[in-house]
């Protein structure tokens, strides 16, 4: 007797700044269908953005709601789910206590997504959608997610992401931060605009004339603006005329929130969201030549559900992150006047050594990406100072936003780029000693590889166009062919070899064949 295979089920629980949301979906005949979506308003964002903490009253409410959501999950027989949290829990000073209590009371392991993780997942969904629109394919776009507590700001050049920044100010946080000033002046709108200028005005996007062909905005505030303007969703997106947006902004610009609420039949909190979202959208319009704003109906859980239900989606996402991260790193490296030829040479050598030693270092594709980024960015510090360029490179890299990379990953990347032939990781370095044991091990392995690769182009003249890497007994043999004077490269290589042997137990040897001999 043939039994029909049950559709694959998955669910996402999202603890947002404004709401607790849950989505249950199934994969049926290769298509994702939603079975249930739930949303209940919460005020975690207001608490965190004003007091810095989540109250235990809110915790009890959240725990009770989660128990109800768990009953729904059990009713559908869902066992594969992810419980994630974003800005409010991420920024709460007492987040560890909250996460611990939710684990004890609800048996849930809450995954707090970092800013870059959250935004990159949303961008991935937006790009998938954008590529389905024929007349938008291959065009540049400024893609922004206006959240309650943060703004994700990224630039797409028509082929890949080339710029990414996360701004710690969203529609709800903007009002909560400046709300006290509102009672002091009738000119509050000027305060908001000047504050936005002080932050967004410093961003220069790496496109010709600093303008993108398209402006893509998403977030609950943009959907609210569309609703106020009477714009209906079509083909999974809203299209908002920029002149209409400007007109709406002029209408409410000088209104207090109470009056905005009465005019559009909104609660005071929703009126605040409308005002802040409009103010941010108006500033973002300066970065585009487009007469319209596109707002796809895309949310964080779209990407999470897709990765849970469609096996190949996760690999495609990782490939996208890698390509985009490298693209962004190259733009940053160029802005610090680093030699593209040198950094690409070092990156190529690093990848060849890393891949050959795969069975020895035990590292994966993510660590390989960190090695590539360190190779691209390691010379940035020369722009600041020659005397302390290694430390300057470290400082620049650890504080740089790279598409899809977490703060911890950028810190590890900074450590890898921090060492040359004179210096190696040591517990005497207080910052390095503060890393977890696992992260210190990762850094040490990547540094050993990076230092050898960088030594092979010490003169930055690309005397070695290609290398061959072999493992033989206790030796790592790197061979190449060149007629150039390689005494400097050989010296640097010899300086770096002992640390490599200390980390891996293999003695590196450099063999050069020359047609002149």
**What's 26-77 look like in SS3?**
EEECCEEEEEEEEEEECCHHHHHHHHCCCCHHHHHHHHHHHHHHHHHHHHHC
Query: In the predicted model, is pLDDT for residue 186 greater than 90?
Result: no
Give pTM, 2 decimals. Answer: 0.89
DSSP symbol at 158:
S
* Residue 61 counted as domain residue: yes
Question: 364 and 284 in one domain?
Answer: no
Among the listed ranges 249-263, 286-300, 385-399, 498-512, which one has the minimum average pLDDT value? 249-263
pLDDT, mean of residues 69-75: 95
Question: 126 and 28 in one domain?
Answer: no
In DSSP terms, 239 is beta-bridged to 294
Among the listed ranges 1-10, 18-27, 274-283, which one has the minimum average pLDDT value? 1-10
Question: 67 and 166 in one domain?
Answer: no
**Contact between residue 481 and residue 463 where contact means Cβ atoms under 8 Å apart:** no
In DSSP terms, 38 is beta-bridged to 22
Query: In the predicted model, is pLDDT for residue 137 greater than 80?
Result: no
* Residue 3 counted as domain residue: no
How wide is the angle at C-alpha 411 spanned by C-alphas 399 and 358, nearest 5°?
A: 140
What are the tens digits of pLDDT across the range 356-393?
A: 999 999 999 999 999 999 999 999 999 998 888 989 99
pLDDT over 90 for what percent of the chain? 62
* More confident site: 470 or 207: 470
What are the tens digits of pLDDT across the range 196-212?
A: 888 888 888 888 778 89
Query: In the predicted model, is pLDDT for residue 3 greater than 60?
Result: no
Domain span holding position 146: 116-304
Question: 122 and 109 in one domain?
Answer: no
**Domain end (from 76, 97, 113):** 113
**Contact between residue 302 and residue 124 where contact means Cβ atoms under 8 Å apart:** no
**Contact between residue 37 and residue 13 where contact means Cβ atoms under 8 Å apart:** no
User: Chain-centre distance of CA 495, in angstroms?
Assistant: 36
CA distance 16 to 10: 19
Question: 363 and 265 in one domain?
Answer: no
CATH number of the CATH domain containing 72: 3.30.420.40
* Residue 330 counted as domain residue: no
**Contact between residue 17 and residue 169 where contact means Cβ atoms under 8 Å apart:** no
* Count of structural domains, the chain: 3
* Residue 23 counted as domain residue: yes
pLDDT of 1: 40
What are the tens digits of pLDDT across the range 282-308?
A: 989 988 888 899 999 999 999 999 999
Sheet strands (E) in 42-173: 81-85, 111-112, 141-146, 151-156, 161-167
CA distance 190 to 454: 51
* Residue 87 counted as domain residue: yes
Query: In the predicted model, is pLDDT for residue 442 greater than 90?
Result: yes
Q: Which residues contact 105 (CB under 8 A, 6 or more apart)?
A: 63
CA distance 112 to 115: 9
Query: In the predicted model, is pLDDT for residue 185 greater than 70?
Result: no
**Contact between residue 377 and residue 329 where contact means Cβ atoms under 8 Å apart:** yes
In DSSP terms, 20 is beta-bridged to 15, 40
Least Cα distance to 389 among 347, 451, 336, 330 occurs for: 336
* More confident site: 173 or 394: 394
CATH number of the CATH domain containing 248: 3.30.420.150
* Residue 272 counted as domain residue: yes
What are the tens digits of pLDDT across the range 322-366?
A: 999 999 999 999 999 999 999 999 999 999 999 999 999 999 999
Question: 80 and 122 in one domain?
Answer: no
pLDDT of 44: 92
Written as six digits, the tokens of 163 are 């710029």
pLDDT, mean of residues 461-474: 92
pLDDT of 499: 95
Mean pLDDT of the chain: 90
Question: 121 and 139 in one domain?
Answer: yes
* Helices 389-398 and 407-417: angle between axes, nearest 10 degrees: 170
Question: 176 and 149 in one domain?
Answer: yes
Written as six digits, the tokens of 2 are 């043939």
Question: 348 and 445 in one domain?
Answer: yes
* Residue 55 counted as domain residue: yes
**Domain end (from 63, 94, 113):** 113
Confidence grade of residue 120 (pLDDT, cut at 50, 70, 90):
very high
Sheet holding 468-472, edge to edge: 468-472, 475-481, 507-513
pLDDT over 70 for what percent of the chain? 97
Least Cα distance to 415 among 452, 436, 446 occurs for: 446
CATH number of the CATH domain containing 434: 1.10.3210.10
CA distance 411 to 389: 17
Question: 276 and 172 in one domain?
Answer: yes
Least Cα distance to 397 among 422, 371, 421, 415 occurs for: 415
Least Cα distance to 164 among 347, 29, 345, 328 occurs for: 328
Question: 52 and 134 in one domain?
Answer: no
Least Cα distance to 302 among 164, 123, 79 occurs for: 123
Question: 161 and 75 in one domain?
Answer: no
**Domain end (from 276, 304, 332):** 304
* Residue 309 counted as domain residue: no
pLDDT of 195: 85
């Amino acid at each position: 007797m043939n039994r029909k295979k049950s559709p694959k089920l998955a669910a996402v629980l999202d603890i947002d700044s404004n709401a607790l949301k849950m989505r249950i979906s199934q994969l049926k005949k290769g298509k994702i269908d939603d079975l249930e979506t739930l949303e209940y308003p919460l005020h975690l964002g207001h608490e965190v953005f004003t007091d810095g903490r989540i109250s235990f009253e809110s915790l009890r409410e959240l725990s009770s709601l989660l128990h109800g959501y768990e009953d729904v999950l059990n009713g559908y027989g869902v066992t594969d789910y992810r419980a994630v949290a974003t800005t409010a829990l991420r920024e709460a000073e007492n987040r560890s206590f909250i996460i611990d209590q939710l684990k004890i009371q609800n048996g849930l392991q809450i995954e707090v997504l970092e800013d870059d993780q959250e935004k990159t997942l949303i961008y991935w969904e937006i790009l998938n959608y954008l590529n389905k629109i024929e007349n938008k394919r291959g065009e540049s776009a400024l893609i922004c997610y206006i959240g309650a507590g943060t703004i994700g700001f990224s630039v797409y050049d028509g082929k890949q992401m080339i710029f990414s920044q996360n701004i710690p100010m969203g529609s709800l946080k903007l009002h909560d931060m400046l709300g006290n000033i509102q009672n002091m002046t009738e000119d509050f709108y000027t305060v908001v605009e000047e504050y936005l200028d002080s932050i967004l005005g410093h961003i220069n996007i790496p496109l010709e004339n600093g303008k993108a062909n398209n402006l893509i905005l998403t977030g609950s505030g943009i959907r609210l603006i569309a609703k106020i303007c009477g714009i209906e969703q079509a083909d999974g997106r809203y299209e908002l005329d920029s002149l209409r947006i400007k007109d709406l902004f002029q209408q409410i610009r000088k209104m207090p929130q109470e009056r905005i609420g009465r005019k559009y039949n909104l609660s005071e909190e929703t009126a605040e969201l409308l005002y802040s979202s409009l103010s941010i959208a108006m500033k973002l319009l300066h970065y585009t030549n487009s007469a319209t704003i596109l707002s796809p109906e895309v949310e964080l859980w779209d990407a999470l559900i897709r990765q849970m239900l469609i096996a190949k989606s996760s690999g495609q996402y990782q490939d996208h992150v890698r390509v985009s991260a490298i693209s962004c790193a190259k733009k940053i490296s160029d802005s610090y006047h680093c030699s593209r030829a040198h950094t690409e040479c070092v990156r190529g050598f690093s990848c060849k050594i890393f891949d050959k030693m795969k069975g020895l270092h035990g590292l994966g594709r993510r660590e390989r990406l960190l090695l590539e980024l360190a190779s691209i960015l390691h010379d940035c510090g020369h722009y600041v100072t020659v005397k302390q360029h290694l430390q300057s490179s470290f400082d620049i890299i650890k504080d740089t936003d790279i598409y899809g990379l977490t703060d911890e990953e950028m810190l590890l990347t900074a450590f890898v780029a921090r060492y040359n032939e004179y210096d190696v990781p040591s517990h005497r370095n207080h910052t390095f000693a503060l890393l977890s044991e696992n992260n210190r091990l990762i850094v040490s392995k990547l540094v050993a590889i990076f230092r050898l690769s960088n030594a092979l182009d010490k003169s930055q003249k690309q005397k070695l166009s290609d290398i061959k890497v072999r493992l033989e007994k206790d030796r790592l043999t790197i061979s190449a062919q060149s007629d150039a004077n390689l005494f400097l490269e050989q010296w640097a290589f010899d300086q770096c070899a002992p640390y490599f042997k200390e980390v891996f137990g293999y003695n590196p040897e450099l063999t050069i064949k020359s047609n002149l001999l």
